[in-house]
Amino acid sequence: MISLNNKRILLGVSGSIAAYKSAELVRRLKEANAEVRVVLTKGGAEFVTPLTFQALSGNPAHTNLLDTETEAAMGHIELARWADAILIAPASANFIARLAQGRADDLLSAICLATSSTVAIAPAMNQQMWANAATQENLQQLKQRDILQFGPGDGNQACGETGPGRMLEASQLAAHVAEIFETGLLSEDTVLLIAGPTQEAIDPVRYLSNRSSGKMGYAIAQAAAEAGAKVILISGPTSLATPPRVERINVRSAQQMFDAVMQHVAHSDIFISAAAVADYRPVRIAGQKIKKTEDTLTLELQRNPDILAEVAALKNAPFTVGFAAETENLEQYAREKLARKGIDMIAANLVGEDIAFEADENTLLVLTAENKQPLARASKFILGRQLIDIIAKQKYNVSI
């Protein structure tokens, strides 16, 4: 059974009789746990109604580029950003030509132009149209732009002819979509990751903690597993589900997190520190619930170990990646942290109201001693994959 856990798939449906198979494709993608949104071209909507796709996907189907209401709800830029991958199935000869030209005069082509995610096409057309030099040249161009092509199959066609041009079946397409995320980049590596907040006990019912949701770290853990790594996720308390193929160890305090890391680090090739580790913990944990007696109460705090710095200082340290959440002077502070902690890479982000902590989206500035790479605002799952790509390239000495 394929998994598209936490994946947002935008399915584009253009005008071809094969659009009837796309309804089934939505079912297959949903069964694999993907979140699906459907965008129909005018031609696509002639073959299967938006209502069908709305009912199957559980989301409104999108059709118009310049409609004030739909653009206000989720416009082409948001859809382009929302998608982890875009599959156009069926991709008609006309839509392939439009994509090759880089048109932006309907919703689906505008989304394809505005996205930084993987785009794939599942061609569907008459075998003569497929064989035509114009179509083949267009496909060649799309290939050069890293647009993936799934199929077409060969066989009986709706027009009565036989030959190449049949859209692949829904189950085959769903499997190809899942393969987009299986990069194999880290198949030789063990990735040790810390994520989430820590809780520092004050008494049996109270603790000091922070607003970290763990989403960024969990997204990276998932991306690392999809890249083929063995992943050990040491997690502070979160409400998140463990990503598939990830071994999770639950801890509460920074000290417990530190101990768990030290237990596993010797066998790790990469250490990613995405946790919001509390810098301080109470010196004493009260044995009983502290009663409110005085007007003021003083807690004496002591420093927690800096897990990341300690890992980086180990004799056979793994490739170390830290995070830096800052409210100002992002690059300067992150560079200082990179040097001070002696780590290989740092992913820095500005913390604000609707971004970073607790949010589903983020932006990152990835720094090494020699390089910097800004990653534009995107879902934490997309950023997780981009970060894993950068780590793999850096670790295997391909410059970023």
Active site residues: 159
Could you tell me the smallest distance in angstroms from the CB atom of residue 285 to ligand C5P?
18
Binding mask of the shown chain, residues 242 to 281, with x at each position contacting ligand C5P by CB under 6 A:
------------x------------------x-x-x-x--
Task: Between 154 and 279, name the residue whose CB sits nearer to ligand C5P.
Answer: 279
Task: Between 157 and 304, name the residue whose CB sits nearer to ligand C5P.
Answer: 304
Find the part of the chain contacting ligand C5P (CB under 6 A) among 43-51, 52-60, 86-94, 319-327: 319-327
| By CB under 6 A, residue 308 contacts ligand C5P | yes
Could you tell me the smallest distance in angstroms from the CB atom of residue 123 to ligand C5P?
45
- The residue within the footprint of ligand C5P, chosen from 324, 366, 375, 392 (CB under 6 A), is 324
Could you tell me the smallest distance in angstroms from the CB atom of residue 206 to ligand C5P?
20
Quick one: tokens of 249? 């160890």
Could you tell me the smallest distance in angstroms from the CB atom of residue 379 to ligand C5P?
20
Nearest in space to 232 (alpha carbons), one of 250, 212, 208, 206: 250
Find the part of the chain contacting ligand C5P (CB under 6 A) among 59-67, 147-155, 316-324, 350-358: 316-324
Nearest in space to 166 (alpha carbons), one of 155, 180, 177: 155
| By CB under 6 A, residue 307 contacts ligand C5P | yes
| By CB under 6 A, residue 223 contacts ligand C5P | no
Could you tell me the smallest distance in angstroms from the CB atom of residue 229 to ligand C5P?
19
Instruction: Give residue for tokens 């939505």.
Output: 26
Give the whole-angstrom CA distance, residue 113 versus residue 107. Answer: 10
| By CB under 6 A, residue 304 contacts ligand C5P | yes
Give the whole-angstrom CA distance, residue 48 versus residue 239. Answer: 39
Task: Between 80 and 257, name the residue whose CB sits nearer to ligand C5P.
Answer: 257
The burial class, CB within 10 Å (0-12 / 13-18 / 19+), for 60 is middle
Could you tell me the smallest distance in angstroms from the CB atom of residue 359 to ligand C5P?
18
Find the part of the chain contacting ligand C5P (CB under 6 A) among 88-96, 160-168, 288-296, 322-330: 322-330
Find the part of the chain contacting ligand C5P (CB under 6 A) among 1-9, 118-126, 235-243, 301-309: 301-309
Task: Between 35 and 306, name the residue whose CB sits nearer to ligand C5P.
Answer: 306
Give the whole-angstrom CA distance, residue 51 versus residue 59. Answer: 10
| By CB under 6 A, residue 323 contacts ligand C5P | yes
The DSSP annotation for 62-99 comes to: B--SS-HHHHHHH-HHHHHHH-SEEEEEEE-HHHHHHH
| By CB under 6 A, residue 195 contacts ligand C5P | no
- The residue within the footprint of ligand C5P, chosen from 189, 226, 306, 344 (CB under 6 A), is 306
Task: Between 26 and 223, name the residue whose CB sits nearer to ligand C5P.
Answer: 223
The DSSP annotation for 343-370 comes to: -SEEEEEE--SSSSTT-SEEEEEEE-SS
CB atoms within 10 A of CB 307: 25
Q: How many residues bind ligand C5P (CB under 6 A)?
A: 13
| By CB under 6 A, residue 337 contacts ligand C5P | yes
Could you tell me the smallest distance in angstroms from the CB atom of residue 330 to ligand C5P?
12
Q: Work out the end-to-end distance of the chain between its first and last CA atoms, rounded to an integer number of angstroms.
A: 35
Give the whole-angstrom CA distance, residue 352 versus residue 322. Answer: 19
Q: Exposure pattern of 337-372 as b/e (b: 16+ CB <10 Å)?
A: bbeebebbbbbbbbeeeeebbebebbbbbbbbeeee
Task: Between 14 and 212, name the residue whose CB sits nearer to ligand C5P.
Answer: 212
Nearest in space to 115 (alpha carbons), one of 149, 150, 152, 87: 87
- Give the chain's largest Cα–Cα span: 88
| By CB under 6 A, residue 322 contacts ligand C5P | yes
Could you tell me the smallest distance in angstroms from the CB atom of residue 9 to ligand C5P?
31
The DSSP annotation for 112-127 comes to: HHH--SEEEEEE---H
Task: Between 120 and 348, name the residue whose CB sits nearer to ligand C5P.
Answer: 348
Q: Exposure pattern of 311-328 as b/e (b: 16+ CB <10 Å)?
A: bbeeeebbbbbbbbbbee
Binding site for ligand C5P (CB under 6 A): 254, 273, 275, 277, 279, 304, 306-308, 322-324, 337
